Amino acid sequence: MMVTSTHPPKLYWKTCTALMLLLALTWGIGYLNLGLFNLVIALAIALVKAVLVALFFMHIKGSNRLLQFAAVTGVMWLLILILLTLSDFLTRGWFS
């Protein structure tokens, strides 16, 4: 059985190149001392890389609405769990 892709191979190579460039950017930012912004920039780059992987390698882009809904629901659930964990952590008085 032959597996067909929903995206042309050229798009996969462009996505892979973008991921490698973002990896190099993350690595380069690691050597700069930007204070608190090191974490913010690293997380922003990681978010962009995660979106690229989800959209193209996991075939979220161009798929049916049910798969897109499942992906969005998973992200929303992750955010709820992080919010609940942070609400517990921040109410313990360590930052008071």
Note the pLDDT tens digit of each residue in 28-83.
Answer: 999 999 998 999 999 999 999 999 999 998 888 888 899 999 999 999 999 999 99
Indicate the pTM of the whole model: 0.76
* Residues 6+ away with beta carbon under 8 Å from 67: 59, 60
CA–CA dist 80, 73 (Å, integer): 10
Give the angle subtended at the CA of 85 by the CAs of 79 and 41, to the nearest 5°.
55
Chain segment 5-33, per-residue pLDDT in tens: 567 889 999 999 999 999 999 999 999 99
CA–CA dist 6, 52 (Å, integer): 15
CA–CA dist 60, 54 (Å, integer): 6
